[in-house]
């Protein structure tokens, strides 16, 4: 970060203008601020083509600006081609996507570096109700016991005391950890409540595990193909991915895993043994135990 009294030097028409960092930036005009806010609403898909947007008079009242300022914001969006004015009717969302049969219109953009973050953003950006979400391994809502889940949540909500409405400090609520440990004992996992940490999902759990055993620049053995969220996490933590081939039936191949551990010494081994992405398989119990074997014997944590 530049020091407080650092200077920015700009050259305009052979004249040098010197400004200090403490000089205030020019304020954003009200109509630009309102136009930026409306643009977010229009580009988010909240409104469909042909929908009528807020009138200039109501917009002026809501934003507490003059009517000419509200009109200027709407004209600004009209000039961008986002809305269209109809005489004595107001402003309406303009049809932007001209592709046929529900396909997205192709758009051109400047060259950008190809990173996992950019690929993931393209997957998130393709989320739309009329498109099949091939980029995310999500079950169809029709397959989920929605009514049973809603009843369970409603029942649990009635049983919550005041503590259930507040934040829980790490490692999480003791009663929840005890219940998880008791449930886990039914399928042969022997650990106590003090061995558990409640996290906000599996991704945070994996992040904490990797931060506990890895340093930036370390290698982590992962399945190939891998869940893109794991690759994003490795990129964010500055870790290297050591790809281990998989079999559609057997899952993670143990011989390449042993060779990778022997020659590359990864700091950790990460694999999805239940409902793995993106292969969609489930490892047999024997294969799961075998996959953990070489990692554990070599002192490498397996998760």
pLDDT digits (tens, 9 = 90+) for 243-289: 888 887 778 888 999 998 998 999 999 987 766 565 555 555 545 55
Q: Looking at the domain that runs over 201-277, which CATH code has it been given? A: 3.40.50.2300
Residue 27 has pLDDT above 50, yes or no: yes
Quote the crossing angle between the two packed helices 202-213 and 228-237, to the nearest 10°: 40
DSSP annotation string for 112-181:
----HHHHHHHHHHT--TTS--TTS----GGGS-HHHHHHHHHHHHHH--GGGGS---TT--HHHHHHHH
Supply φ then ψ for residue 81, to 5 degrees: 85, 15
pLDDT in tens, 165-215: 778 888 998 989 999 999 999 888 888 999 999 999 889 999 999 999 999
Residue 95 has pLDDT above 90, yes or no: no
Asked whether this chain's domains 30-93 and 201-277 adopt the same fold, the reply is no
Give the pLDDT score at 136: 61
As to burial, measured by CB atoms within 10 angstroms (0-12 exposed, 13-18 middle, 19+ buried), residue 211 is exposed
Instruction: Give the Cα-Cα-Cα angle 152, 154, 155 (nearest 5 degrees).
Output: 65
Rounded Cα distance, 204 and 272, in Å:
15
Domain boundaries, the chain: 30-93, 171-198, 201-277
Rounded Cα distance, 266 and 150, in Å:
43
Report the share of the chain in percent with pLDDT over 90.
23
Task: Tell me which residue of 30, 42, 31 sits closest to 92, measured CA to CA.
Answer: 42
Q: How confident is the model at residue 5 (pLDDT cuts 50, 70, 90)?
A: very low
pLDDT in tens, 115-154: 666 556 556 555 555 566 665 666 777 888 988 999 998 8
Whole-structure pTM value: 0.53
Give the pLDDT score at 162: 74
Rounded Cα distance, 280 and 47, in Å:
35
Report the share of the chain in percent with pLDDT over 70.
66
Distances (CA, A) of 50 to 2, 83, 227, 294: 48, 9, 39, 61
Q: Which of 101-105, 122-126, 226-230, 274-278 has the highest mean pLDDT?
A: 226-230
Q: How confident is the model at residue 1 (pLDDT cuts 50, 70, 90)?
A: very low
Number of C-beta neighbours around residue 8 at 10 A: 11
Task: Tell me which residue of 211, 273, 263, 272 sits closest to 242, measured CA to CA.
Answer: 263
Record the tokens describing residue 158, joined without a space. Answer: 């009635």
Q: Looking at the domain that runs over 30-93, which CATH code has it been given? A: 1.10.10.10
Q: Which of 79-83, 92-96, 123-127, 177-181 has the lowest mean pLDDT?
A: 123-127
Give the pLDDT score at 160: 79
Distances (CA, A) of 122 to 35, 133, 231: 25, 12, 15
Distance of CA 82 to the CA centre of its chain: 27
Rounded Cα distance, 194 and 192, in Å:
5
């Amino acid at each position: 970060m530049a020091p407080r009294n650092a200077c920015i030097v700009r050259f305009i028409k052979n004249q040098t203008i010197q400004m200090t960092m403490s000089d205030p930036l020019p304020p954003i005009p009200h109509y630009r601020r309102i136009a930026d806010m409306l643009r977010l609403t229009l580009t988010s898909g909240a409104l469909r083509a042909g929908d009528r947007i807020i009138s200039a008079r109501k917009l002026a009242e809501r934003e507490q600006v003059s009517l000419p300022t509200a009109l200027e914001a709407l004209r600004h969006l009209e000039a961008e081609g986002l809305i269209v004015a109809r005489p004595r009717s107001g402003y309406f969302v303009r049809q932007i996507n001209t592709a046929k049969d529900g396909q997205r219109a192709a758009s051109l953009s400047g060259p950008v570096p190809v990173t996992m973050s950019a690929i993931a953003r393209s997957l998130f950006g393709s989320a739309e109700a009329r498109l099949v979400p091939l980029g995310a391994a999500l079950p169809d809502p029709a397959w989920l016991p929605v009514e049973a889940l809603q009843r369970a949540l409603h029942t649990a909500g009635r049983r919550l005391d005041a503590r259930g409405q507040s934040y829980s400090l790490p490692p999480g609520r003791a009663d929840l950890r005890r219940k998880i440990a008791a449930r886990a004992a039914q399928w042969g996992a022997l650990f106590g409540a003090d061995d558990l940490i409640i996290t906000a999902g599996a991704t945070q759990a994996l992040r904490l595990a990797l931060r506990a055993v890895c340093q930036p620049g370390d290698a982590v053995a992962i399945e190939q193909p891998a869940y893109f969220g794991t690759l994003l996490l490795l990129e964010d933590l500055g870790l290297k991915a050591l790809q281990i081939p998989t079999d559609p039936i057997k899952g993670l191949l143990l011989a390449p895993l042993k060779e990778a551990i022997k020659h590359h010494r990864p700091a950790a081994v990460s694999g999805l043994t239940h409902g793995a992405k993106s292969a969609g398989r489930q490892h047999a119990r024997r294969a799961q135990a075998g996959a953990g074997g070489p990692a554990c014997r070599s002192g490498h944590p397996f998760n």
